């Protein structure tokens, strides 16, 4: 039987392709959007990571989600540095979540509070993605909008405290394989992971509506 880490990756593959090839992501990676679109996207991420990380400390002692709570992954401080660069010192003023972002953040909070195993699905979907495809986004952002390499504007994608991302991902998959959940609960985590991807895709859809390409 496949390991749980393989199961979750395989089961979410289709959703991954959908997120990756969404109009907004394609346009962003294709260098067809202005820096305002990138800033708006970064703004949405702030709401998502605020939800992911404000519940994390309490989950640290949880038998199921606890092993996943690793402060070296935390992104909120980096996002705030990027936002200060993108929006200025008053970055917090007027920061606004799109409806899809509200829904996404609310679901993450709900899991963090009431269903630690479900929180793992959200944790995996964001952090493992950031450590993987996130590096492609960073490279494009640096080239397209001229951010300093690994500097302000793209700090979100720079995991200063993860020295070896490939090794970290291997360790992360070991954590998934060892998750303290029976088969039914593992299946529910997979379902929640698909939902996490769908929430991302919906956020991209709304961002795409806000930043259409004038063909």
Mark out the alpha helices in the chain (DSSP H runs). 4-11, 13-20, 23-29, 35-54, 56-59, 76-87, 99-114, 116-123, 129-131, 134-145, 165-177, 183-210
CA 91 and chain centroid, separation: 20
Q: What is the DSSP code string of 87-114?
A: H-TTTTTT----HHHHHHHHHHHHHHHH
Buried b (16+ CB within 10 A) or exposed e, 34-47: eeebbbbbbbbbbb
Does residue number 121 form part of the binding site for ligand HEM (CB under 6 A)?
no
Tokens of 165: 């991302």
The residue count for binding ligand HEM (CB under 6 A) is 18
74 contacts: CB under 8 Å, gap ≥ 6? 53, 56
Shortest Cβ contact with ligand HEM: which residue? 133
Q: At closest approach, how far in Å is the CB of 69 from ligand HEM?
A: 17
Pick between residue 11 and residue 84 the one whose CB is nearest to ligand HEM: 11
Please identify which residue in the block is written with the tokens 């202005």. Answer: 34
Q: At closest approach, how far in Å is the CB of 188 from ligand HEM?
A: 17
Q: At closest approach, how far in Å is the CB of 129 from ligand HEM?
A: 3
163-192 mask for ligand HEM (x: CB under 6 A)?
Answer: ------x-----------------------
Residue 186 near residue 7 (C-beta atoms within 8 A): yes
Does residue number 136 form part of the binding site for ligand HEM (CB under 6 A)?
yes
Residue 203 near residue 101 (C-beta atoms within 8 A): yes
Among 7, 24, 25, 105, binds ligand HEM (CB under 6 A): 25
Pick between residue 29 and residue 105 the one whose CB is nearest to ligand HEM: 29
Q: At closest approach, how far in Å is the CB of 214 from ligand HEM?
A: 22
Does residue number 40 form part of the binding site for ligand HEM (CB under 6 A)?
no
Among 9, 40, 122, 195, binds ligand HEM (CB under 6 A): 9
By CB under 6 A, name the binding residues for ligand HEM.
9, 16, 19-20, 25, 29, 124-126, 128-129, 132-133, 136-137, 169, 197, 200
């Amino acid at each position: 039987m496949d390991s749980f880490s393989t199961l979750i990756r395989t089961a979410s593959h289709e959703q991954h392709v959908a997120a990756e090839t969404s109009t907004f992501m394609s346009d962003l990676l294709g260098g067809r959007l202005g820096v305002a679109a990138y800033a708006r996207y970064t703004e949405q991420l702030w709401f998502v990571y605020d939800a992911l990380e404000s519940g994390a400390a309490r989950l640290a002692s949880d038998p199921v989600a606890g092993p996943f709570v690793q402060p070296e992954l935390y992104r909120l401080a980096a996002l705030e540095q990027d936002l200060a660069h993108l929006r200025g010192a008053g970055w917090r003023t007027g920061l606004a979540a799109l409806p899809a972002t509200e829904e996404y953040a609310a679901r993450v909070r709900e899991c963090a509070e009431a269903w630690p195993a479900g929180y793992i699905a959200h944790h995996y979907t964001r952090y493992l993605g950031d450590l993987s495809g996130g590096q492609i986004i960073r490279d494009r952002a640096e080239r397209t909008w001229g951010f300093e390499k690994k500097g302000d504007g793209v700090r979100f994608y720079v995991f200063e405290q993860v020295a070896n991302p490939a090794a970290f991902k291997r360790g992360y998959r070991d954590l998934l394989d060892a998750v303290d959940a029976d088969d039914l609960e593992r299946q529910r985590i997979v379902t929640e992971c698909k939902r996490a991807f769908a929430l991302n895709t919906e956020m991209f859809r709304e961002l795409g509506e806000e930043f259409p390409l004038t063909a």
